[in-house]
A = this chain, B = another copy of it.
Amino acid sequence: MSQQVLVLPGDGIGPEITAEAVKVLEACRDQLGLDITLDEGLVGGAGYDAHGEPLPAQTLDKARAADAILLGAVGGPQWDKLPDLSKRPEKGLLGLRSNLKLFGNLRPAMLYPQLASASTLKPEVVSGLDIMIVRELTGGIYFGQPRGIRTLENGEREGFNTYVYTESEIRRIAKVAFEMARKRDKRVCSVDKANVLEVTILWREIMEEVAKDYPDVELTHMYVDNAAMQLVRAPKQFDVMVTGNMFGDILSDAAAMLTGSIGMLPSASLDEQGKGMYEPCHGSAPDIAGLGMANPLATILSAAMMLRYSLDQGDTAKRIEQAVSEVLDEGLRTADIMSEGMTKVSTSQMGDAVVQAL
């Protein structure tokens, strides 16, 4: 039976970049015999504009039914002023993550040799960089209760959120990190703030506990402030980094930017059965939306990740990744990764080139 893929273009450059990934998936279907069926849905600002909800019920239903989801990006200035936080585009994304229980977020930060010069860091500091950040995605302060803004007795307002993790939430993300490390350099660095925050004292304790089941994997701990420093100072020291939702949000973006080409980086968000949502690491870039300038490669590589992790099509995934590498070798570049002597191409030209190279 054909595997069902739901495509959620979202906002900003989302529709442009997912269109290119769809091109590539269709080429795999038509030319390589990949047996998938593609459907589309609205999410984020697009969902709000059409149905008054960033995560319309029909989208959630489709997402539940699908075998895997490919997402563009959500958000834009036109929705930033919505007084009701629950209507903002980001809530569509957060709603998908939590409703589908996509707790395991994989964010690779790797440097493409062809794009080494795009990094703001010195070549010797980043060449060969290959970090896998494992971020917990359905817990922590993003979802903790109670939360809100209340008025105190003295009349002034107070904003509050709750940073919370249970043992089992920590245990299952720990396992994802250790399993991942086994397939890589067998080192996990767990990032916390255990010198200040109780929730991360528990985090550290459970990491130690799970580590006992993985004697072949080395576990170290690092405070989040130090981790942010070490990413700048000597990023190649890391193999797998595991951390909570908020710290992971910050550190994975910093790590991605070390490569200088965040337009190249895919991500996966997985549930306990390996079903997942795949999306580029970058955002919806409303400033360049509709201009045909966006780099579709992170989304195309997200589609490849989807084939590998959720659809068990590792060979086709590899072909897509090789095709991407080839177009880079040919010197094709979208504006974000353009450099002297290369050939500047548009979003759709880049997608076409990948299809060509397949």
Residues of A within 8 A of B (CB): 75, 80, 85, 88, 90, 94, 120-122, 125, 141-142, 144, 147-149, 152, 156-168, 193, 195-203, 224-226, 228-229, 231-234, 246-247, 249-254, 256-258, 260, 262, 283
Contact = CB atoms under 8 A, between A and B. Distances in A.
5 contacts: A90-B195, A147-B197, A160-B163, A229-B257, A254-B254
B202 A157 contact: yes
B254 A228 contact: yes
A197 B162 CA distance: 9
A85 B152 CA distance: 29
Given A120-B233, A157-B166, A165-B158, A141 B250 contact: no
A225 B159 CA distance: 20
Given A80-B195, A159-B197, 15 more contacts: A85-B201, A94-B196, A120-B121, A141-B163, A141-B197, A156-B166, A157-B202, A159-B199, A160-B164, A161-B164, A161-B197, A226-B253, A226-B283, A229-B254, A231-B254
A249 to B, nearest CB: 5
A262 B144 CA distance: 35
Interface centre among A147, A159, A193 (most CB of B within 10 A): A159
Contact residues of A: prevailing secondary structure: helix
A142 B183 CA distance: 36
Nearest to A124: B120
Contacts of A254: 228-229, 231-232, 254
A253 B231 CA distance: 11
A158 to B, nearest CB: 5
A163 B162 contact: yes
A234 B121 CA distance: 11
A198 B149 contact: yes
The 5 closest A-B pairs by CB, nearest first: A159-B199, A159-B202, A228-B254, A229-B257, A225-B253
